[in-house]
């Protein structure tokens, strides 16, 4: 305890002396004066004064001169230091000594002579770091070339460009890139293990010397080019958001296909491989590794995300739905990779941007359905479809919804997310069933309702109420069939289908009432007290009237359309089921009339079979084709 107190007292005395003394001699004089105050300190201060000889600075000078000779020989060399392992080891040893000397002597930097030496040492260290940075960059580039020649084939990498196969190989600095692949369960070892070991040693020195950022920058510059070239080889163009939005839709469709392949390869192969390589090169220096990885991947990641963002902020025309769904699903499926790979402090913004764009794509898809609603509302009731056939809007909307429902689970997520309560812990990326309410079904029912309202308005164009019913029957039948045959039916449910089948039956009844009620009314028997001759004459007049009505109907309705064969047969059978018996009974009454029956055949134009044949010729219009 006493010794510790003495040490502190001596240190204070030395500090006062150094502070007051303007020269080394003055400092020594002040220390001698302090020693005279207490004889017990004379011996200690004398020892300290003897330790404080000028050889300390001389020692540092000698060390620096030696290190300067060794380091300058390598720094000024035109040959790569790492071309010879002995030179590399010697250079690193010298750098280690220099870093150690600076660290040890920095605590004595208050001494002006030592401070001057340290200034020279820092300058030498900076030269060493610059050379190490060059060697580091060279190793990354040469390591990739060595890897290309020896290991590319075994790791499924293709560093050749098929388009340039006929040209001379004059580019000695070609950057190796990954061949487009579909197997994502691989990791690319883009540098040989020996090169990685050398890079580790350099990185260790540069980080220890405070040049970690420079080392990261040198690393990222080389590896960033690798990623950019890899994406280019995958067919992805470097397009700005404005350039993407100016593309024709067919061009954009092609670019989306390329983007999907590129982002899958990037997130599942290239980026994980770069993460692994960074961690190995900067082993033990997580911050430098994270920074390097961010600098390597940031440009490529922004390029990929900007493309998705351009799709998200583009047109919301209904025909774009399916490609936007592809982009949305790709982003959703890759979010776990985004969260795993970009989890550190430097990459957090990239991960957050990916999530934001993914959510924006969901908003776009909901907006596209709103545009579909507007399209249905705005579709004008101009010209009637010939023969009461299938309207183009019905075919378009039903085929559209049917195709959309192939992505039912995705749409459930999107529309379920739009009504989720704030703060909900539902994970839509996993298709959490807690979020999958009837929101999509409600959306589909609403679109169906709009379509039916639009068709009802169009049916009013027909002046013939029977043809109006045929039009609604045709379109209603098509709607129900499209619903029953796919995911749309599972979404809307059996009750919806039953309800609309009932509507179709009602259209059927309306048609028969409008077309055949008057005809059947002519054939009805009447109870009256007229004379037999009067009754017979009345039957003949009714028969003539029946033929007049019947022929007009047959002539008119033979050009009408019922596209569904089953519906057509059912309607014919239904008409014959009421018309044939009534006509048969009427002819029987006419033939049995007193004093007239033997002349009845003169007035009978059609037999029952003829009537049935004419009915079977109805609804043969040319517009019955459908898809």
What is the model's pLDDT at position 8? Answer: 55
| Residue 405 · residue 445 · CB < 8 Å | no
Mean pLDDT of 430-457: 78
In 3-state terms, what secondary structure has residue 620? strand
* 100-129 confidence digits (pLDDT tens): 877 877 777 677 777 777 788 788 888 989
Residue 99 pLDDT > 70, yes or no?
yes
**Kind and range of the H or E element at 449?**
helix 439-459
* 292-343 confidence digits (pLDDT tens): 999 999 999 999 999 999 999 988 999 999 999 999 999 999 999 999 999 9
| Residue 186 · residue 156 · CB < 8 Å | yes
What is the model's pLDDT at position 28? Answer: 55
* 220-234 confidence digits (pLDDT tens): 998 998 888 888 998
Which tops the pLDDT comparison, 497 or 536? 497
Mean pLDDT of 246-254: 92
Residue 185 pLDDT > 50, yes or no?
yes
CA–CA gap between residue 144 and residue 13 (Å, rounded):
61
* 387-440 confidence digits (pLDDT tens): 999 999 999 999 999 999 999 999 999 998 765 444 444 444 444 443 444 789
| Residue 436 · residue 413 · CB < 8 Å | yes
CA–CA gap between residue 503 and residue 509 (Å, rounded):
10
In 3-state terms, what secondary structure has residue 596? coil
Whether the full predicted model's pTM is greater than 0.85, yes or no, is no
DSSP state of 165: T
């Amino acid at each position: 305890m006493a010794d510790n107190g003495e040490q502190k007292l001596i240190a204070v005395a030395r500090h006062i002396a150094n502070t007051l003394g303007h020269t080394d001699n003055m400092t020594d004089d002040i220390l001698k004066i302090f020693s005279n105050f207490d004889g017990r300190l004379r011996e200690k201060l004398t020892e300290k004064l003897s330790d404080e000889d000028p050889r300390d600075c001389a020692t540092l000078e000698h060390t620096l001169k030696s290190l300067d000779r060794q380091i300058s020989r390598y720094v000024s060399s035109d040959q790569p230091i790492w071309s010879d392992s002995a030179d590399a080891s010697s250079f690193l040893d010298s750098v280690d000594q220099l870093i150690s000397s600076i660290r040890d002597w920095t605590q004595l930097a208050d001494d002006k002579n030592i401070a001057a030496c340290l200034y020279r040492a820092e300058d030498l260290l900076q030269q060493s770091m610059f050379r190490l940075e060059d060697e580091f960059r060279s190793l990354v580039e040469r390591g990739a070339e060595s890897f290309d020649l020896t290991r590319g084939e075994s790791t499924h990498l293709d560093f050749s460009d098929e388009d340039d196969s006929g040209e001379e190989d004059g580019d000695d600095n070609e950057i190796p890139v990954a061949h487009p692949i579909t197997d994502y369960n691989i990791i690319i070892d883009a540098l040989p293990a020996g090169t990685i070991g050398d890079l580790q040693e350099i990185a260790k020195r540069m980080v220890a010397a405070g040049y970690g950022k420079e080392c990261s920058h040198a690393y990222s510059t080389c590896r960033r080019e690798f990623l950019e070239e890899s994406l280019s080889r995958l067919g992805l163009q470097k397009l700005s958001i404005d350039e993407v939005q100016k593309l024709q839709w067919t061009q954009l469709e092609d670019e989306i296909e390329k983007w999907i392949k590129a982002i899958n390869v990037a997130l599942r192969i290239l980026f994980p491989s770069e993460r692994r390589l960074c961690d190995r090169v900067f082993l033990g220096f997580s911050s430098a590794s994270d920074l390097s990885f961010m600098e390597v991947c940031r440009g490529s990641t922004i390029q990929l995300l900007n493309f998705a963002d351009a799709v998200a902020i583009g047109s919301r025309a209904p025909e774009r739905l399916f490609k936007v769904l592809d982009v949305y699903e790709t982003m959703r499926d890759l979010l776990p990779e985004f969260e795993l790979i970009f989890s550190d402090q430097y990459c957090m913004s990239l991960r957050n941007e990916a999530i934001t764009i993914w959510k924006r794509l969901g908003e776009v898809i909901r907006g596209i359905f709103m545009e579909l609603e507007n399209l249905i509302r705005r579709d004008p009731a101009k010209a009637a479809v010939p023969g009461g056939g299938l309207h183009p809007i019905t075919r378009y909307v039903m085929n559209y919804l049917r195709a959309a429902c192939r992505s039912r689970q995705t749409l459930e997520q999107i529309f379920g997310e739009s009504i989720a309560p704030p703060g909900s812990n539902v994970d839509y990326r996993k298709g959490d069933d807690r979020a999958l309410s009837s929101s999509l079904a409600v959306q589909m029912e609403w679109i169906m309702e709009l379509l039916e309202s639009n068709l009802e308005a169009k049916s009013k164009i027909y002046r013939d109420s029977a043809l109006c019913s045929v039009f609604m029957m045709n379109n209603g039948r098509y709607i129900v069939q499209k619903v029953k045959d796919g995911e749309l039916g599972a979404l809307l449910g059996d009750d919806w289908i039953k309800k609309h089948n009932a509507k179709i039956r009602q259209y059927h009844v309306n048609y028969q009432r409008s077309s055949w009620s008057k005809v059947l009314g002519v054939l009805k028997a009447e109870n009256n007290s007229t004379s037999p001759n009067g009754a017979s004459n009345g039957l003949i007049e009714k028969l003539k009237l029946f033929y007049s009505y019947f022929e007009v109907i047959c002539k008119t309705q033979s050009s009408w359309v019922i596209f569904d064969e089953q519906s057509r047969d059912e309607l014919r059978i239904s008409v014959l089921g009421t018309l044939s018996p009534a006509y048969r009974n009427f002819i029987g009454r006419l033939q049995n009339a007193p004093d007239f029956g033997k002349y009845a055949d003169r007035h009978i134009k059609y037999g029952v079979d003829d009537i049935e044949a004419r009915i079977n010729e109805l609804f043969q219009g040319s517009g019955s084709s459908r898809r």
